[in-house]
A = this chain, B = another copy of it.
Amino acid sequence: MTERSLVFPVAEFRARVRRLQAGMAAAGLEAVLLTTAADIFYISGFLTRFWESPARPWFVVLPATCDPVAVIPTIGAALMRQSWIEHIQTWDAPDPVDDGVSLLAGVLADLVPEQGRIGVPMGLETHLRMPLADYHRLCGQLAPRAFVDATDCLQRVREIKSEAEIAKIRNSCAIAARAFDRIPEIAGAGRPLDAVFRGFQALLLEEGADWVSYLAGGAGQDGYRDVISPARTVPLVAGDILMLDTGAVHDGYFCDFDRNYAIGRASDLARRGHAGLWAATQDTLAAIRPGLRACDLHRLLHRSIVAQGLTPGGGRLGHGLGVTLTEWPSLTARDQTPLRSGMVLTLEPGAVLRPGVTMVHEENIVLRETGAELLSPRAPTDLPELL
């Protein structure tokens, strides 16, 4: 028997499979086909950065009643054998003639009767990680079996975290929090923003991140223009607000929160903005509870920002968090997802402080029956100044 190198005990994965299979039974699905790094890690524990290469598709099939089957490139066999998955089929990928399609079709044909339905995540916030032409070939080879949307099935299970998952996310948050505490080592007037970004990633690694899948941020007088740009080489100057927002990863689980810092003395505008966003978050933390919908929480956050005398920024104000940087649900006016105990969420209120200048605040929580429990250590009430 190969030595296992799993992030969780096998029981964790078996519990996930049971929950998924219950949803599949309710939806009338004989199998679900998974193709993304997140879905495959979630069900198998298969964790590798090799997904960065777009060359090869990877498949895991979850049948209605038995254990998952991995249909993967040979190069992944040794690592998959360390997971709890016993049924592994491989081919030499990439193969321009038949890149795993026939092998996968054979596995699915054995598991799913001709009148059966195969679920694939096709809905909001999903994509199919295999060549589209190969998917069409697969559908053709398996006809008259029907391919139907399995988004709901995956979402309802993945968005409720186990205590083991919550502990992982809390740990990733703690790593980022220790790195944020060391910001004065790397940021200040005269430091170019790109050097700050590099330095912060190094701090995250020093503090225990396995890798840093996401770092964004911004800097500008009183606030920043947007929150998704890569860093420029422009040095920080007094009056700038520096924001860093990170998705650091440990054992495959993300944190996702940001922190703001004034370079030198903060302007009144920036201090009021920070204090207002902090208070809006605090009000929302006190009000959130299971039974609300994602759109209700969006409205709570929006109202709390307005109540602080701030102009809310557009877009969503938070989202799920776990094996990807962002997960369902989205805190928008249109997302009807019911909030349930066990959901891990970001609260991400933003404000436009003056035209073209924004500020964003972010915390990570787990929703309990009694309300919100913080996973990120709460940001300081007052905007920190790097003097």
Contact = CB atoms under 8 A, between A and B. Distances in A.
The copy count of this chain in the complex is: 2
15 contacts: A5-B229, A49-B214, A52-B247, A54-B125, A54-B325, A55-B326, A74-B314, A78-B226, A92-B314, A94-B125, A97-B334, A122-B132, A194-B210, A201-B202, A210-B230
A65 interface: no
10 A-B pairs closest in CB distance: A122-B132, A122-B133, A78-B226, A50-B228, A53-B326, A202-B202, A198-B205, A52-B214, A55-B326, A52-B325
Interface string A120-153: 1111111111111101100000000000010100
A345 interface: no
Interface of A: 5, 36, 38, 47-50, 52-57, 73-76, 78-79, 82, 92-97, 99, 120-133, 135-136, 149, 151, 194, 197-199, 201-202, 205-206, 208-216, 225-232, 247, 314-316, 319, 324-327, 330, 332, 334-336
A201 B206 contact: no
A314 B226 CA distance: 46
Contacts of A216: 48-50
Given A129-B127, A198-B205, A95 B332 contact: yes
Contacts of A97: 334
